[in-house]
């Protein structure tokens, strides 16, 4: 008894390990897709916008500049770092503002604010009480702003203070209205109170959110992805429909009819299952080229409308159906097509479910033939588009994983809803007649 319990616990442990190892890539894919930036093993906590050790550029390569009317003035300079033990320098802004004029400090940003939790920087005033507007602007010079006095009612103090302003305090809808992406091209400090003063800045950062769904919205609204999804859906549906009808018709002939060469043809069909698809790659490509089907839906659907394994599976199933109903239908005057569509197909629903599910999953995930038979963005499918995503957009792993997750969702839903039929498909036809 004890030995049996040990064997049971060992079996459970092994099965658990297999399930975890099988699901781990899927879990890690979804986890990475919700991260604002970085990769699975290289997390990025924030973007250092400026530490002011780069002279006239910030830490991400953007310019640091000013804008002022003749009646006002603004001057930039350097000062000792706020931390004596840390090498580098801080930044000084000396300003003089007149009513009705523009007095502005700005630096290039070029970031999507949806991915960040807050704006962080260190600041202090020369005498204390200094105030300004914190602004973000988009490519069309639309701005969203927040007065510093809403965070510090008394203004800056002569001591360094770490400012942490949640991005949610800004009205992000004002940037790029009508577009989900809220990309801020510039970060600005605008001086609006009359008078002059000097402020000190250091280490401007944008900490990332822990998780975000913006990667999914970015992928969905990108032009090519929608086309990829449409192509994959259309091709998978056509191929699945074809494999529900044509292999069943061929299987019915093998199961119920007698004709010359029947045994040899069935052996050839079963034998073709053992031929690797890679062997047929070049002949199929040459054939599609010679008939002018390259880069068309014909090339992506017609060669896959009949799968040899589906013929074998349906033949094994139909051959076990009772002949009584077919004989009764013939007595009533039904022909072969009527018998096939009104009797054989309805009785073959379990086998057709297996064929449909397996065909849909295989067609949705196929990469090789859509890759070699298409050469334009308009004809690519999801697997091909995602495979080329890295080369098109750089090493943007979070968006790549988001696209992969969206691509995997239909297959996951189909598998969860019809898993019992998929398992049945693995054993169908395995019983010897």
> Can you tell me the mean pLDDT for 197-206?
93
Q: Report the pLDDT averaged over residues 313-333.
A: 89
Q: Is a pLDDT exceeding 80 seen at residue 241? A: yes
CA distance 116 to 326: 68
CA distance 350 to 359: 14
Pick the more confident residue, 424 or 149: 149
For residues 189 and 163, give the distance between their C-alpha atoms in angstroms, rounded to a whole number: 14
Quote the pLDDT of residue 428.
52
56 in Cβ contact with 64 (< 8 Å): yes
Average pLDDT of the residues of the chain: 88
- A 10 A CB-CB count for 415 gives 13
Q: For residue 432, what pLDDT is reported?
A: 46
- State the pLDDT at residue 42: 79
Lowest pLDDT segment from 240-244, 265-269, 395-399: 395-399
pLDDT reading at 399 higher than 60: yes
Task: Pick the most confident of 55-64, 349-358, 387-396.
Answer: 349-358
CA distance 218 to 216: 5
d(CA 99, CA 110): 30
* CATH number of 216-427, picked from 1.10.357.10, 3.90.1150.10, 1.10.3720.10, 1.10.760.10: 1.10.3720.10
Cα–Cα distance for residue pair 112/225, rounded to 1 Å: 20
> Looking up tokens 């992805």, which residue turns up?
225
pLDDT tens digits, 161-174: 999 999 999 999 99
Q: Where are the domains of the chain?
A: 46-207, 216-427
Write the class of the CATH domain 46-207: mainly beta
Residue with tokens 């305090």: 169
**What is the structure's pLDDT at 422?**
62
pLDDT at 114 exceeding the cut of 70: yes
> Who wins on pLDDT, 249 or 54?
249
For residues 159 and 199, the answer to whether their CB atoms sit within 8 Å is no
Residues 6+ apart with CB under 8 A from 317: 251, 348, 350, 351, 428, 429
Q: Distance (Å, rounded) from C-alpha 410 to C-alpha 390? A: 22
0.85 exceeded by pTM: no
Rounded Cα distance, 314 and 174, in Å: 59
């Amino acid at each position: 008894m004890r030995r049996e319990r040990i064997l049971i616990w060992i079996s459970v442990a092994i099965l658990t390990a297999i399930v975890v190892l099988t699901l781990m890539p899927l879990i890690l894919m979804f986890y990475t897709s919700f991260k604002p930036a970085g990769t699975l093993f290289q997390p990025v906590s924030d973007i250092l916008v400026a530490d002011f050790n780069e002279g006239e550029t910030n830490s991400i390569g953007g310019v640091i500049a000013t804008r002022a009317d003749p009646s006002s003035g603004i001057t930039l300079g350097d000062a000792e770092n706020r931390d004596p033990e840390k090498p580098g320098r801080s930044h000084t802004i000396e300003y003089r503002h007149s009513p009705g004029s523009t007095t502005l400090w700005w630096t290039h940003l070029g970031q999507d604010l949806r991915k960040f939790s807050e704006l962080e920087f260190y600041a202090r005033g020369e005498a204390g009480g200094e105030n300004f507007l914190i602004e973000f602007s988009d490519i069309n010079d639309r701005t969203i702003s927040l007065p510093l006095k809403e965070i510090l009612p008394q203004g800056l103090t002569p001591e360094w203070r770490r400012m942490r302003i949640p991005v949610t305090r800004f009205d992000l809808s004002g940037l790029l209205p009508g577009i989900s992406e809220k990309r801020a091209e510039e970060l600005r400090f605008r001086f609006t109170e009359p008078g002059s003063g000097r402020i000190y800045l250091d280490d401007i950062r944008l900490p990332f959110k822990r998780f975000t769904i913006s990667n999914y919205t970015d992928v969905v609204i990108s032009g090519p992805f929608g086309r990829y999804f449409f192509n994959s859906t259309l091709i998978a549906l056509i191929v699945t429909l074809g494999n529900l009808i044509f292999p069943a018709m061929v299987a019915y002939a093998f199961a119920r009819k007698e004709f010359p060469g029947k045994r040899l043809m069935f052996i050839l069909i079963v034998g073709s299952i053992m031929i690797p698809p890679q062997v047929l790659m070049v002949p199929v490509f040459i054939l599609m080229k010679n008939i002018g089907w390259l880069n068309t839906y014909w090339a992506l659907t017609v060669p896959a409308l009949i799968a040899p394994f589906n013929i074998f599976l349906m033949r094994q199933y139909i051959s076990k159906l009772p002949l009584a109903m077919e004989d009764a239908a013939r007595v009533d005057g039904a022909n072969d097509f009527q018998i096939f569509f009104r009797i054989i197909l309805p009785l073959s629903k379990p086998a057709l479910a297996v064929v449909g599910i397996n065909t849909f999953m295989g067609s949705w995930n196929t990469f090789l033939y859509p890759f070699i038979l298409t050469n334009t963005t308009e004809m690519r499918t999801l697997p091909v588009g995602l495979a080329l995503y890295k080369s098109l957009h750089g090493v943007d792993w979070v968006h790549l994983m988001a696209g992969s997750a969206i691509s995997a969702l239909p297959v996951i839903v189909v598998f969860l809803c019809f898993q019992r039929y998929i398992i049945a498909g693995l054993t169908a036809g395995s019983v010897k007649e």
